[in-house]
Amino acid sequence: MTPLRQRMLEDMEMRNLSPNTQKNYVRQVEQFAVHFGKSPDQLGPEEIRTYLLSLVRRDASCNRFNVSRCALRFFFRVTLKREFPDIVCAKRPKKLPVVLSQGEVAQLLATPKKLKHRAILSTLYAAGLRVSELVGLRVADIDSKRMVIHVRQGKGNKDRYVMLSPMLLELLRAYWQERRPKEWLFPVTVRCVQLLCAAMARKAKLTKHVSPHTLRHSFATHLLENGENIRKIQVLLGHRSVQTTARYLHVSMEAITSTCSPLDRLATKSTAAPASQRENSLPPATEEGGGS
């Protein structure tokens, strides 16, 4: 390891950046150096601009562009104490998350034959965990006395508690009896869980793209459809802003289908008006009719 890389890693460690962020930042700076065939400390603002522009022209994703920009910004400003050009982040297109119906979730969770796989998928859905939070769960994080799960160092390096479903607890106890995990509840990698979700979705013959985050999206949407308060859902998900949680209003079928269209209200008013007019404009009774 070069002294320059070691220094950058130490800078990131002192700022408490997550191991994944550190790994991604080092990789992005390395690719920047490879692009020009020089050590990154021999490059400057003009090369940064040229490199980021090349990512745009190669149709790199917004996420790739933004991670590269943040990594180079950290490297030049923090590690090298140099100037960084005024380049803004790419604006990400706003897409609605993929959400499974409750029936599709039940179908997915019933698909795995192995108890371990069923426990992994069930924990993702029952607690709304990120995949990194799932693989970081320890056996001691399952608190059956208080019926909560302790999520340690989630996104933003924040701890939180989520509810422990009685059904999930029963499943986890059966899994523990079978596998007897020592420290880590699920000794697997993030990639393994991602592949598991995709494989089980294919086996369950689901037409939607299913990832670990799909189960988290489904958890939030189903809670919203069941009438849970959006701020409570925000706390359970570990969102910094309630606006992030509010996007599930856009995919909640209950919220959408239970909302009356203004067209229907207009139709109701238009049919009610003539009826009242007819009531008020009845012809007076004639003398021949006796008025009764």
H helix runs in the chain, sequence order: 3-14, 19-36, 45-57, 62-74, 102-109, 115-127, 131-135, 166-179, 190-203, 212-225, 230-237, 242-246, 253-257, 262-280
How far is 220 from 259, CA to CA, in rounded Å? 19
Q: Coil, strand, or helix at residue 170?
A: helix
| Locus of tokens 């308060």 | 229
Please state the separation of Cα 277 from the chain's center in Å: 55
How far is 142 from 163, CA to CA, in rounded Å? 10
Q: Tell me which residues are annotated as active site.
A: 130, 155, 213, 216, 239, 248
What is the helix (H) or strand (E) element at residue 162, kind and residue range?
A: strand 160-163
In the β-sheet with 148-151, what is the strand arrangement from edge to edge? 142-143, 148-151, 160-163
Burial class for 181, CB neighbours closer than 10 Å (0-12, 13-18, 19+):
middle
| Locus of tokens 């992030």 | 244
Determine how many CB atoms are found less than 10 A away from the CB of residue 164.
22
